[in-house]
Amino acid sequence: MKTIGHFVNGMHYDGDSDRISAVFNPATGVQTAAVRLATKAEIDSVVELAASAQTAWGTTPPAKRAQVMFRFRDLLNRHIDELAELLSAEHGKTLADAKGEIARGIEVVEFVCGIPQLLKGEYSGQVAGGVDSYSMRQAVGVVAGITPFNFPAMVPLWMYPVSLACGNAFVLKPSERDPSVVLRIAELLHDAGLPAGLFHVVNGDKEAVDALLDNPQIDAVSFVGSTAIGEYIYARGTANGKRVQALCGAKNHMVIMPDADMNQVVDALMGAGYGSAGERCMAISVAVPVGEDTAERLIEKLTPRIHALNVAPYTDPASDMGPVISKQALERIKGYIAEGEAAGAKLVVDGRGLKLQGYEEGYFLGGCLFDEVTTDMSIYQNEIFGPVVSVVRTGEYEEAVEMINAHEYGNGTAIFTRDGDTARDFCSRVRIGMVGVNVPIPVPVAYHSFGGWKRSLFGDHHIHGMEGVRFNTQLKTMTTRWPSGIRDGAVFNFHTGSDTQA
Ligand code: NAD
């Protein structure tokens, strides 16, 4: 059986820990590899390498750092098929979906190819007599990234291209459930000319994460994953004086107004609810039709489409969605379905009986649809992270907005309507970080920033785009006076901009 190690100092490193975690092919349920879980001592020595490499990189001209990103982008594009295959074999998502995720990651690399422009500071001449002021953004130092299983290529790519382009060194601790694609991408980044020492991938679990959070040479931590872990990482990281952004769980609602085009709504909901088996932090998991007639039309059109879903392994090019990530995830999702039924929700489509010939041990679940869900039910309150959509019927638009605003999560939401007034009101009043109007999964493009509100994000900065640049840099502001020959004696009052001694 293959053993997966780490990528340290520009090359593969087996690791010396005897603790391992199993990696499975979710379509077959067969173990394909064992990944080594790094020890605290290994993490500490990797961080040391990163810290010593960062000093020179931080003062390397941004245009030179951008050159690495230009070559990295080309290599990613050239290897996209190979990367998608690696990704799908461990994650289970369809190849088209895997390529889409990698492409969205490449867009972040494209964004940071313009890093000299992004790091440009501000300048004000003559802020007082003979005094000029300017600002610059400098790297924070060594940044750690801790990432989830569901986007094993894209989420790390949200982080380290921005961080490295800004002049930091980066230590990535990816998900131990699908570690292969990120290791291959690390090779490509070094083939692109990144100097050794600046980017390391260490596989691990809580021990590795805690070692990163406690290491005084780590200056900032980017985390993406579940809320329970993100909240812990934020608390421990900030208690240790680090800058932390922790992007977390979600429960994304789609409001369907009576005037919406129902065919468009159903197409959108199929992709957003069941694509990637519902394992996206921006998946729509709650549909909120406004008015009884809207609800009836939605259920009528949606039900046959869910029955027609082609649930199949990624090796089948006609697959709409693959398995969920693990046996435990499958059991957790089935547990929620049982809770929903017990609480009185109506299970309109039950995907639990799905069996695929030749893949009986795979973690497959058919699409599921609940109707008549109420806000006190666990299937409404919690993130299920599987192919399960809940319909919560509302009488009024206002009720829908209140419901979304009251939910503890605030990652994404969407409204489907033909009415500009309603859409505009929704965008303005909804307490959610990313909002779609007739767009079901409003994931911002790379040059905007991704992030939720409420318990979907701990920390102040969203990720990638200019917020990513801000997170990965510190602002420094200079106040300078030339010529140096001026003497005004000791001044004991506080200077103001209207001082004009010169
Ligand atoms: P997870 O929280 O289980 O794992 C995320 C990372 O934390 C992994 O690297 C894991 O090894 C590490 N980790 C797990 N347990 C830990 C512990 N006890 N102590 C320290 N570190 C630990 O998340 P997951 O199951 O891999 O991913 C799914 C979750 O991620 C969902 O909740 C989803 O909504 C969320 N997610 C959020 C976003 C976003 O941008 N908001 C994007 C993608 C995924």
What gap in Å lies between CA 286 and CA 406, rounded to an integer? 14
Contacts of 405 (CB under 8 A, 6+ apart): 429, 430, 431
55 & 121 share domain: yes
- pLDDT of 495 > 90? The answer is no
**What is the average pLDDT value for the chain, to the nearest integer?**
96
- Out of 202, 229, 450, mutate this one to test ligand 1's pocket (max ligand atoms within 8 Å of CB): namely 229
DSSP state, 275? G
Last residue of a domain, one of 384, 410, 437: 437
* Minimum CA distance residue for ligand 1 atom 18: 206
**245 Cβ inside 6 Å of ligand 1:** no
Q: Residue 277: inside a domain, yes or no?
A: yes
Q: What is the pLDDT of residue 389?
A: 98
- Out of 101, 147, 175, 450, mutate this one to test ligand 1's pocket (max ligand atoms within 8 Å of CB): namely 175
C-beta atoms surrounding 74 within 10 Å = 14
Q: Residue 432: inside a domain, yes or no?
A: yes
What gap in Å lies between CA 170 and CA 155, rounded to an integer? 14
Q: What is the DSSP string of 236-266?
A: HHHHTT-EEEEE----EEEEE-TTS-HHHHH
Q: Residue 325: inside a domain, yes or no?
A: yes
Largest CA distance in the chain: 89
The arrangement of strands across the sheet holding 123-128 comes to 123-128, 131-139, 473-481
CA–CA distances in Å: residue 398 to residues 36, 392, 395: 51, 14, 9
**78 Cβ inside 6 Å of ligand 1:** no
216 & 264 share domain: no
223 & 298 share domain: no
* Residue 427 annotated as catalytic: no
Residue 206 belongs to domain with CATH number: 3.40.605.10
Interval between CA 425 and ligand 1 midpoint (Å): 33
Q: Residue 278: inside a domain, yes or no?
A: yes
Q: Residue 447: inside a domain, yes or no?
A: no
User: pLDDT grade, residue 502 (50/70/90)?
Assistant: very low
Alpha helices per DSSP H over 79-221? 80-91, 95-112, 115-118, 154-165, 180-191, 206-214
Position in ligand 1 atom list of the atom nearest CA 146: 9
Query: Which residues form the domain of 163?
Result: 2-248+456-477
Report whether 470 contacts 459 (CB < 8 A): no
| Residues 385-395, mean pLDDT to the nearest whole number | 98
Q: Which helix (H) or strand (E) holds 457?
A: strand 457-458
> What's the number of domains the chain is made of?
2
- Return the structure tokens found at 89: 């074999």
Q: Is 138 helix (H, G, I), strand (E, B) or coil?
A: strand
227 & 346 share domain: no
- Return the structure tokens found at 293: 């007639």
- Out of 37, 150, 330, mutate this one to test ligand 1's pocket (max ligand atoms within 8 Å of CB): namely 150
User: pLDDT grade, residue 490 (50/70/90)?
Assistant: confident
pLDDT in tens, 193-236: 999 999 999 999 999 999 999 999 999 999 999 999 999 999 99
Q: Residue 499: inside a domain, yes or no?
A: no
Interval between CA 434 and ligand 1 midpoint (Å): 20
Q: Residue 442: inside a domain, yes or no?
A: no
Q: Which of 113, 281, 368, 427 is catalytic?
A: 281
Q: In sequence order, what are the beta bridge partners of 389?
A: 369
What gap in Å lies between CA 72 and CA 70, rounded to an integer? 5
176 & 276 share domain: no
178 & 66 share domain: yes
Q: Residue 401: inside a domain, yes or no?
A: yes
- pLDDT of 500 > 60? The answer is no
Q: Is 397 helix (H, G, I), strand (E, B) or coil?
A: helix
**267 Cβ inside 6 Å of ligand 1:** no
What gap in Å lies between CA 413 and CA 347, rounded to an integer? 23
163 & 272 share domain: no
373 & 412 share domain: yes
217 & 275 share domain: no
- pLDDT of 43 > 70? The answer is yes
38 & 145 share domain: yes
* Minimum CA distance residue for ligand 1 atom 20: 206
72 & 185 share domain: yes
* Minimum CA distance residue for ligand 1 atom 19: 206
Q: What is the pLDDT of residue 483?
A: 73
Last residue of a domain, one of 380, 410, 437: 437
Counting Cα atoms < 13 Å in the Cβ hemisphere of 111 gives 28
Q: What is the pLDDT of residue 499?
A: 63
261 & 217 share domain: no
pLDDT in tens, 396-437: 999 999 999 999 999 999 999 999 999 999 999 999 999 999
Residue 399 belongs to domain with CATH number: 3.40.309.10
Contacts of 425 (CB under 8 A, 6+ apart): none
